[in-house]
Amino acid sequence: MKKITLLFLIVNLFLHVNQLKAQTTDVVTDVFWPIDLQLIGDDLYILEFSGSRVSKIDITDPAPILTTFITGVAGPAGIAIKDNDLYIAEFNTNSIFVVDITAITPMATEVVSGLNGPI
C-alpha cells in the first residue's frame, strides 16, 4: 500500500510540476539578439549581437525606454564593468574595447587586439 501511495504522489507531482511555469513580462522590445547584460547602478546595459550596439535602460523606470549607448560594435560577445569603464569583447575583430560610461559622448577605445575569439 505504501508503494502505491508513493507512486501516486510521484506521478501527481510530475503532472503538476509541468503546470508551474515562471511568469515573464516584456520590459523592453526591439532588442536585437541580446547576448550579455551588465547592471551598473540603476542602468542595465544590454549587448546586442545582431544590432551591433550596446543599449541601456533605467531599471527604476516603471516604463523603461531602450536607448542606444554605443553603436558600431562588431560582433559583440561579452561585456564587463570596472569602475566607470565598460569593457566590450568584439568577436569579429578579436579585440577588447573600453568605454567610459560617464562620458558625454561615449567612444570605444581598443585595449587589446589580436585575440582568438575573445568570449
- For residue 8, what is the DSSP state? H
Model pTM?
0.75
- Across the range 44-69, mean pLDDT stands at 93
- Across the range 63-69, mean pLDDT stands at 93
Q: 35: Cβ–Cβ under 8 A, 6 or more apart, which residues?
A: 47, 48, 49, 76, 77, 78
pLDDT attached to residue 118: 65
Express each pLDDT in 3-20 by its tens digit: 566 666 666 556 555 565
Express each pLDDT in 70-104 by its tens digit: 999 888 889 999 999 999 999 888 999 999 999 99
| 27-112 placed in CATH 2.40.10.500 | yes
| Domain extent listing, the chain | 27-112
